[in-house]
Structure formats: C-alpha cells, structure tokens
C-alpha cells in the first residue's frame, strides 16, 4: 500500500487539504463572472488567472462541479476532424491535454490508445481519405488503414459485422486518447482556486442584468453580483441563459446517452468508432466497456435514459463483437447535448457587450476543454475573439458562413 494511503488510514484528521476553498459569502463585485462549473468554465477561470493575471473571478455552478456533461461524457480526445479550422483547434487541445497532468500535479489518467473510425461503405472510405489528407496537411497523425491492419490491432473484432455491414477500412488516428473526466474539472478548479478564483457550488444564475446593451451583473440564488463581464459555459442549459439576454441561436438540446458494462478482463486497448453502426467504445482502466451512440432523435430538456438506446447500441456492439453476448450492461445515463446545425461550436463575443459565449459543444466538447479555456480566457481578457475561434463566431449563421464539421462529428464523441 502506498505510504500516502497509510497516512490517511492512521490519521485522525483528514491529512489532505480539500480540493477547493469553500467560501461562505458571494462577493459583491467581480471582474468576470463565469456561469457553469463544468470543465469549460473552470478551464477559462484557470487560464484567466494564470495567463492573464485576472484573478477577481468567480465561477457559479448550480449543482456540483463537473456534474453536467463533463462528468457524463465518454472522454474521447482526438483531433482528426474535417475542416482545417477544426483540426487546428482540436490539435491545440490535444497538445494541452498531453501536459496537463504535470501542470496540475494531478493524475488525469490520460491514456493514448489509438482511435479507429470504421468505414463500412465506399462513401465512408472517401470521407476517411479526405479527413486523412486534411489531417496530414496540418501535421496531425492520421491515415487510412486496410482490413489487415485492423485485424492485427483488434483481433477480437468481426470485420464482416455478422455479414451485413462488412468493414472496408478505417481512419486510424494514433494520438486518440481517453482521460478521467472528473479529474480534468477538479484539476482546473483546484488550479484556479489556488490562484485566487472563487468557486461557488449550489449557486444558480437566475437573471442577467443588461442595460443599454451592456452587462452590469447577475442575479443568483444567493444574491446579486455586479460585474462587467459574464462568460456563459453551460452546455445543455445554454438556451435558458441566452434567453435571459435576448440572444437567438440555432442551438437545440437533444439528450446523448451512454452506458458501461460490468468490468471484464482487459482486451480492448484502442478506441473503436463506427458511424454506420452508430457506436463508439473504449475499455476503461477498471475494465468496463464505455459505450455511446448518436443523440436521441428529438429535442428533450432532461437527462432521462431509455431502453431503446441500450437495445439499439448493444445490437450493434454484438455485430462487431459477438463474444460479448453474455456481458451485462451495468449503468446508463444521459447528458443534454447543445447541438448546432453545422456540428461546430459557438464561441466568442456576442451582440451584448460583456456577454461571452462558449457553447454548441453538443456531443464533442470534452476534448476541447483545455483549448476552450485558453481561447475564451483570451477573448474575455482582451474583449476580442481569439484567432483560433473566429470561425466559430455566433454571427456566422446570419453571414451564411457555416463551418461544416458534420463529416467528422456526427457520431457523438
């Protein structure tokens, strides 16, 4: 047993300080108020303090830290997207992720696994080739591989998928990884807290005070705060907040579900995604298979889960891995995904002065947590969109200048 654990066992007091300071009272004014204590909000707070020296900041979370989509996601990190803007953006995030455990002095269990996107049709193969070329051009490791390569790497897979959906090949992305999602939120939270940011859980923003097109403060379940700058990082609750300031967006909320099996002996060390079969899977350190599919087929603002989902998902899992037929599903859950029509996020300044948005993260925003924190903190500090996020601005819709990331993001992960 490690000595640290022994210290816990023998000590009467809790020998490890808590991750965050508990503040009794909300302050009266802050330079920046961040709504949402998920990974994105906490990362923005961390980089505001660390990179820009802005420390009079609070993060308001209506439930507990990381309890939104951050703590519900299947933690796939990758950068093999389709548009050059998307690839550059996600690649920056993967690079930040790789150093994050060091940065935080906290083990994120960041585990580089290699990521396969399977192609079951000629047209899917064409998209894979296109993605591989864009990726390589931007220096991202990504290549189209054939059945033999897949067979060597994943010998357990039935490459013919019971005969009705044979796999032609795949896009292989070596840096594809998984990480411990809670730890990402906690690491950013602790880092921000250490630098003077105040974090409040169980504190809900109920109104945003806007006068003459400018933010002046927020009403919360624990009183009023005055502030010139508000960053909205609330994923599935985004339309409720944008409604408070009268901004219209294309965001539609659809649940995204996931589930895990009972722990089994380690056999799958890569991440497997199939767009045609609507399935993605990896095996956790505990041996559970972590699985997800596409979003539910219509708008719902709750996190209920359904039998339809597990039935559909497990049927497709068995097409690929028939030997799992006796493996049991242990838990299932859902998050509210904030979907956009072009499968790209909405980030940056808005028509309201001092109101910044980091949303539209749908089913793919965990991997972007570090880069969102970095670029949004810059945007808030300088009141100017960071160059990596200009393509994701809210005004792209009225300018009819959409981003078009569907080919690489439509199966949620």
Ligand X SMILES: Cc1cc2nc3c(=O)[nH]c(=O)nc-3n(C[C@H](O)[C@H](O)[C@H](O)COP(=O)(O)OP(=O)(O)OC[C@H]3O[C@@H](n4cnc5c(N)ncnc54)[C@H](O)[C@@H]3O)c2cc1C
List interacting residues with ligand X (CB under 6 A): 35-41, 60-63, 67-70, 72-76, 204-205, 233-237, 256-258, 292, 335, 337, 361, 363-367, 412-413
Handedness of CA 302, 67, 383, 399 (dihedral sign): negative
Bridge-based pairing state of the strands 230-232 and 355-359: parallel
Strand order in the sheet with 57-60: 198-200, 57-60, 32-35, 230-232, 355-359, 346-349
Closer to ligand X at the Cβ: 23 or 151?
A: 23
Residue 401 Cα distances to 367, 391, 396, angstroms: 24, 9, 5
Cα atoms in the Cβ-side hemisphere of radius 13 Å centred on 237? 18
Closer to ligand X at the Cβ: 242 or 391?
A: 242
Distance in Å, CB of 223 to ligand X, minimum: 13
Distance in Å, CB of 178 to other proteins, minimum: 30
73 binds, among other proteins, ligand X, none (CB under 5 to 8 A by kind): ligand X
294 binds, among other proteins, ligand X, none (CB under 5 to 8 A by kind): none
Closer to other proteins at the Cβ: 250 or 263?
A: 250
Residue 118 phi/psi, 5-degree rounding, is -75, 145
At 377, list the tokens: 């903190």
The 3-state DSSP class for residue 224 equals: strand
292 binds, among other proteins, ligand X, none (CB under 5 to 8 A by kind): ligand X
387 binds, among other proteins, ligand X, none (CB under 5 to 8 A by kind): none
Closer to other proteins at the Cβ: 107 or 243?
A: 243
Closer to other proteins at the Cβ: 185 or 253?
A: 253
Q: 10 Å Cβ neighbour count for 224?
A: 14
Closer to ligand X at the Cβ: 37 or 354?
A: 37
Closer to ligand X at the Cβ: 121 or 305?
A: 305
Angle between helices 181-194 and 39-52 (to 10 degrees): 30
Closer to other proteins at the Cβ: 83 or 237?
A: 237
239 binds, among other proteins, ligand X, none (CB under 5 to 8 A by kind): other proteins
Closer to other proteins at the Cβ: 113 or 316?
A: 316
Distance in Å, CB of 232 to ligand X, minimum: 9
75 binds, among ligand X, other proteins, none (CB under 5 to 8 A by kind): ligand X
Task: Choose among 190, 186, 204: nearest CA to 63.
Answer: 204
The β-bridge partners of 178 are: 76, 111
135 binds, among other proteins, ligand X, none (CB under 5 to 8 A by kind): none
Distance in Å, CB of 106 to other proteins, minimum: 35
Residues of the shown chain interacting with other proteins in the complex, contacts defined by CB under 8 A: 238-240, 242-243, 248-253, 297-302, 304, 308, 338, 341, 397-400
Cα–Cα distance, 10 to 5 (Å, whole number):
9
Distance in Å, CB of 80 to ligand X, minimum: 12
36 binds, among other proteins, ligand X, none (CB under 5 to 8 A by kind): ligand X
Q: 10 Å Cβ neighbour count for 322?
A: 13
Distance in Å, CB of 89 to ligand X, minimum: 12
Distance in Å, CB of 335 to ligand X, minimum: 2
Using the structure block, give the residue that is written with the tokens 């242990």: 330
The 3-state DSSP class for residue 373 equals: helix
Distance in Å, CB of 343 to ligand X, minimum: 12
SS3 string, 11-58, reads: CCCCCCCCCCCCCCCCCCECCEEEECCCHHHHHHHHHHHHHHCCCCEE
Residue 224 phi/psi, 5-degree rounding, is -90, 145
At 93, list the tokens: 């995030």
Distance in Å, CB of 230 to other proteins, minimum: 17
Cα–Cα distance, 99 to 310 (Å, whole number):
35
């Amino acid at each position: 047993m490690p000595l640290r654990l022994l210290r816990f066992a023998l000590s009467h007091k809790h020998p490890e300080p808590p991750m965050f300071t508990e503040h009794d009272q909300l302050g009266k004014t802050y330079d920046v108020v961040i709504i949402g204590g998920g990974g994105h909000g906490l990362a923005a707070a961390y980089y505001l303090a660390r990179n820009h020296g802005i420390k009079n900041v609070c993060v308001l979370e209506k439930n507990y830290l990381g309890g939104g989509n951050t703590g519900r996601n299947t933690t796939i990190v990758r950068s093999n997207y389709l548009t050059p803007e998307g690839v550059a953006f996600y690649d920056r995030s993967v690079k930040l992720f790789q150093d994050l455990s060091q940065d935080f002095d906290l083990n994120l269990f960041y585990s580089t696994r290699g990521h396969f996107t399977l192609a079951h049709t000629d047209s899917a193969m064409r998209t894979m080739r296109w993605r591989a070329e864009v990726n390589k051009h931007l220096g991202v490791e990504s290549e189209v591989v054939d059945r033999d390569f897949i067979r060597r790497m994943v010998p357990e897979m039935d490459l013919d998928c019971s005969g009705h959906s044979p796999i032609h090949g795949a896009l292989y992305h070596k840096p594809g990884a998984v990480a411990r999602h809670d730890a990402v939120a906690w690491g950013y939270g602790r880092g921000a807290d250490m630098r003077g940011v105040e974090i409040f859980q169980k504190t809900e923003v109920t109104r945003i005070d806007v006068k003459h097109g400018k933010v002046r403060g927020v009403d919360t379940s624990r009183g009023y705060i005055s502030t010139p700058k508000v960053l909205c990082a609330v994923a599935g609750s985004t339309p409720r907040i944008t409604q408070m300031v009268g901004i219209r967006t294309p965001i539609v909320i659809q649940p995204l579900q996931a589930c895990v099996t009972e722990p089994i002996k380690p056999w799958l060390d890569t991440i497997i995604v199939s767009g045609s079969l609507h399935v993605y899977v990896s095996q956790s350190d505990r041996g559970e298979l972590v699985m997800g599919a596409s979003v539910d087929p219509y708008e719902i603002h709750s996190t209920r889960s359904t039998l339809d989902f597990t039935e559909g998902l497990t049927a497709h899992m068995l097409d690929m891995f028939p030997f799992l037929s006796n493996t049991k599903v242990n838990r299932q859950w859902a998050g509210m995904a904030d979907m956009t029509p072009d499968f790209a996020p909405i980030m940056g300044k808005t028509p309201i002065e001092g109101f910044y948005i980091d949303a539209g993260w749908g089913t793919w925003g965990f991997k972007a947590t570090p880069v969102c924190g970095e670029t949004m903190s810059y945007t808030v500090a300088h009141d100017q969109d960071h160059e990596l996020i200009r393509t994701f601005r809210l005004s792209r819709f009225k300018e009819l200048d959409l981003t078009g990331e569907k080919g690489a993001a439509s199966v949620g992960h």
